[in-house]
Chains A and B, each alone.
Chain A
């Protein structure tokens, strides 16, 4: 299994500012993902965080808006830049361990932009 600590758990931010969300895993993992879950909606994959290289972004998401870092196999950050109210959502970190097929999720970060 994998235990994920995601911080902050929630925040209220002013439009035009940026927020960095941290994801710390208790063991080395192969794959790390960042998702967005808008109210009452399913999960939308933002990007795959690649260790030591640039993240792989899904259609509709760009690095300038959602820069991601992954300096090692246990840690990643997602920044939501130049926020607007439309960015209000839950952001989830997820990991998959090598040789496993189960995804583990952090508790999520509930972001409200005012």
Chain B
């Protein structure tokens, strides 16, 4: 069945460091891929998405590229800020199906 495997956390970085959170998936067909972010005490918010192979999703300095050949959707940011501290979830969705979420990666950015 469909599944998402996400890099284990927690991750602690200094401000302005480079961030990578790995995500790989298993799915039949051609799912859409997502990164959601959950700030403390809040629900999940869509960070970025890609709906087909080679698409790049981007938002707030974060990027992820849909790599069908490696079944990956790694999240990157060139320079993290303290305000990026949150839990990040990789997810996939096939139309008419349900969302599958990774286990979440907690990021803490220290000044």
Contacts and interface: CB of A to CB of B under 8 A. Distances in A.
Contacts of B36: 103, 105
A41 B101 CA distance: 11
A50 to B, nearest CB: 13
B51 A101 contact: yes
A96 B42 CA distance: 19
Interface residues of B, number: 20
A11 B91 CA distance: 29
Interface stretch (B17-25, B65-73, B77-85, B92-100): B92-100
Q: How large is the interface on A (under 10, 10 to 19, 20 to 34, 35 or more residues)?
A: 10 to 19
Interface in A65-114: 92, 94, 96, 101-108
B43 A103 contact: no
Contacts of B89: 42-43
